[in-house]
Structure formats: structure tokens, C-alpha cells
Structure 1
Amino acid sequence: MSTLPTASGSFGDKPQLTFPEGDAPGGLQVQVLEEGTGPVVEAGRTIVVNYLGQTWGGHVFDNSYDRGQTIDFPIGVGAVIGGWDKGLVGRNVGDRVLLSIPPEHGYGMRGVPQAGIGGGDTLVFVVDVVGVR
């Protein structure tokens, strides 16, 4: 039985992931690292987040912390990968969430080669839910 990576820092800090031995767990894994007390994120709303994305045991392929600005997008409506839609709806503003997203809820067998995401890669994100509107 594999466990999830651990993330350094707290809400608002750029996290660093430490991976356990072994393979990624199957299925979508959602772990709330810090509980927020803000409004609930509902499907169809626009969510505002900071995030770091890394392949399982591999490289960081994207993060908003280094850019110094959040991103926002509609949540729960298929505008982003399924793991984000399924893992972030129902969270609260102020939550820091770790998502382990298998390929079927991520980029599938195509991957995103230009980002260094291979077909079949499990993706790990740390997401700080900054706002919802």
C-alpha cells in the first residue's frame, strides 16, 4: 500500500514535495493539508488558486508561486482536468489540498510531452484555494 507525498510549507508558501517509496496509489487521492474557513467551492463557480504540479517522483512541470500570481478558471464543468474538478469541488477557500491524479483523471495516455508529462503519468498537485466567485 503506497502513501501520498508530503508537502513542505503552509498555505501561501511554495511547497516542496517529498515522495514515498513505491508506485503512485490508484485512483484519485485527495488530502486536505490545511483546513480553510472560507466559502465552499461549488461546481460552476470560478475558483482562484495557487498551485504546484509535479509528476509522481519526477519533475515540477508547472507552478504559479514562481509567477507570483494566482490563476482562476471555472471548476466542476470540464474546463480543467478531471482530477481538479473532482478534487476541488466541495473544498473551502483557505484549504491547502494535495491531489494525486492518475492518468484517467489527468492527461491520459497522451500526456503533455511539451510539459514533460508522459502518457500514463500520475500527477501530484498542491493547490491553495485562494478564492471563489
Structure 2
Amino acid sequence: MRRILLATVAATSLILAGCGGSDSDGGGLDDVKVSSAKSPKVTVEKGFKVSKTITKVLKKGGGEEVATGDSIKISLAGVNGTTGKQFDSTYASGKPVTLTMAEGMLPGFTKGLVGQEIGSRILVAIPPKDGFGKEGQPAYNIKKGDTMVFLFDIVAKIPNEVTGTSKKLPSDLPQLKLDGDKHPSGFTETKTMDKKKSKESAHVVIQGEGDPVEAGQTLTVQYVGQLYPTGEVFDESWSKQPATFQIGGEGLIKCWNDLLVGQKVGSRVVVVCPPDKAYADSPPAGSTIPKGATLIFAVDLLDAS
């Protein structure tokens, strides 16, 4: 995930800013200009400041409203109000980024985006208290007193789960169980399942119709992970928020990099990871995963970008 999307100050309550309006410190957003180019230029006069997050809708999308907890795809351009210089943009690459309206996100992002309609183009001005606070963000040359101005195109809302007709796993695996909301919650014992697995494997239980996942893409997924075959559930995302990460990069266990690349977006995939493709003798500090554990996951591939 891009660093600019991550909060470095404590999140405050997610209060929706009013659309349009102005701020007495900086004259509002009426004087900010946005070109009509495919990669739009955002022109902000030097010394622009606001004391609260404000939002101006340039084009109303007409789609579903963004809600707290939603994962959305956006295109963005960011300008430092103090210098008038652009410090970030996704438009040139043509690849929107994914972010989740939840704790950990910059408060100004959630204040500006929650309640807006999918398909909208908006401007959001974010003061330091709703941005990077007193620390600033040196990687983007944002200092402690700088207001940030963002242009957002809200491209799409990412579904919270995959849908489709499911099928049973092979008889040599434990069977997937669902909770009351029909979300995967773990795996149950069967008489025919293998007690041990020495090879990694992937099994599609709901076939998606999206594009195949490519190495280097950012994935958004829901998942549950359990000690194989029917041990403790050691991690899951369903009770929290979808996970976003780069596939094929460092930091993921080998079997996810090996087996999720090539799977179609919209699929639910069960992944079996023997120790040499998981954590071997070095499980994550603080986790309940023992050394030498085989793991089994159910992964919903919600989006790849």
C-alpha cells in the first residue's frame, strides 16, 4: 500500500465533512483549479491552509455511498498547500489504489470520503491534525504545519466477500465451515481427510470471473487461517476488515505467493501450506503458530490492482 494512505497519528472519530463550503483560514476550495486532462493537474495557491477537513464535490457519481469499513478503489493526486507542489499521483499510471475506511487510515481521508457516492470526483483539504500531525511525512516533504489538498476519483467499491456456487473440497482435506453470516470460519474434520500434508496445494471452491492475479499487484482479500487439519484458528479478517498486500513480495508466506498468482479475482481459494512453504521453525513473534506447523487458509480474492 502507498505510504500516503497510512495514518501516522491516532485516528479520531470518523465524522463526515460537509460537501462544499469554505474554511475561514484558507478561503475554502473554490479557488483550487483542476484541469480536464486524463492525468489532471491540481493548482493550489502557495500558503493554502485549513483548520478542519473540508470537501468539495466536483462531480456527483450517482453510485452507492461510501460507508465506514468499506474498501474502495480511488485515483488520487495530492498537493502540498504550503508549497503548491504535487507530491503524489496515481493518474499517470492509470492504476487506482485501494484503501479501507477504517482505523489506521488518515482521519482526513475518512472524513472526506465517507458518505460520498461511487463515481464522484471530489476535492478534500486536510489540516495536519487530520493528516500526519506534528510528525509530518518527510518521504513526501510534508512538514508539520502543511495542509494537504487531494483530488479523488472514487472508482469502485470492493465487495466484502465473493459470491457464487461453492463446491466441496477434495475428500483428503478437512471441509470448510461457515459462520452464521455464511463467511468461512475454519475447517472441520472428516473421516477421509489426510492428517498430514507435505506438499502445498490450492483448491478453488468458488470460481471467480475476474482477471487472473498477477505478481506485483496489490490484493484485497478476506481470509481465515487454521492449523492443519482442524487445529486452532490463528488469524482471520472477517471480524475486522479486508487485508491489503502486495502479492509476490517479501513478507508473505511462500505458499500464498506460489498459489494465489494466477487465480481469478472473485474466487474463494483454499490453500494448504506445509512448513517449508509457511513459517517453518520461525513463526511470527506473538502468534500461536507452533514451529513446524502446516497451515490451511480460505481466501476470498476481492480485488487486484
TM over 0.5: yes
2:300 corresponds to: 128
1:110 aligns with 2:279: no
Q: Deviations over 1:102-125 (max 9, x none)?
A: 111111112236211011100110
Mapped to 2, the partners of 1:8 and 1:14 lie a distance apart of 6
Mapped to 1, the partners of 2:231 and 2:262 lie a distance apart of 29
1:17 aligns with 2:187: yes
Mapped to 2, the partners of 1:15 and 1:95 lie a distance apart of 17
Unmatched 5+ stretches in structure 2: 1-170
Mapped to 2, the partners of 1:4 and 1:78 lie a distance apart of 28
Mapped to 2, the partners of 1:74 and 1:124 lie a distance apart of 20
Number of residue pairs matched?
Answer: 130
Mapped to 1, the partners of 2:245 and 2:289 lie a distance apart of 21
Q: Deviations over 1:37-70 (max 9, x none)?
A: 0121000111110000111121011100011x11
Given the superposition, is the C-alpha separation of residues 37 and 22 from structure 1 closer, same or farther in structure 2, using an over 3 Å criterion? closer
TM-score, with structure 2 as normaliser: 0.40
Unmatched 5+ stretches in structure 1: none
Mapped to 1, the partners of 2:282 and 2:243 lie a distance apart of 24
1:7 corresponds to: 176
**Match runs of 1:1-133 below 5 Å:** 3-9=172-178, 13-20=183-190, 21-56=193-228, 57-67=230-240, 69-112=241-284, 114-133=286-305
- Which one-letter code corresponds to 2:231 in the other structure? G
* Bigger relative contact order (CA 8 A; separation at least 6): 1
Mapped to 2, the partners of 1:19 and 1:115 lie a distance apart of 23
Mapped to 1, the partners of 2:294 and 2:203 lie a distance apart of 15
Question: Which structure would you say has the larger Rg?
Answer: 2
| Preserved CA contact (<8 Å) 1:112 1:118 | no
- Which one-letter code corresponds to 2:238 in the other structure? Y
- Which one-letter code corresponds to 1:119 in the other structure? K
Mapped to 2, the partners of 1:38 and 1:22 lie a distance apart of 32
| Preserved CA contact (<8 Å) 1:28 1:105 | yes
The Cα RMSD (Å) is: 1.9
Mapped to 2, the partners of 1:29 and 1:51 lie a distance apart of 16
Mapped to 2, the partners of 1:24 and 1:98 lie a distance apart of 16
Q: Deviations over 1:58-112 (max 9, x none)?
A: 1011100011x11111102233000110110000111100011011111111223
Between the aligned residues of both structures, percent identity stands at 34
Q: Deviations over 1:13-59 (max 9, x none)?
A: 23331134552221101111110001210001111100001111210
- Which one-letter code corresponds to 1:44 in the other structure? G
Mapped to 2, the partners of 1:18 and 1:113 lie a distance apart of 27
Q: Secondary structure at the match of 1:43?
A: coil
Mapped to 1, the partners of 2:205 and 2:223 lie a distance apart of 13
2:167 corresponds to: none
Q: Secondary structure at the match of 1:48?
A: strand
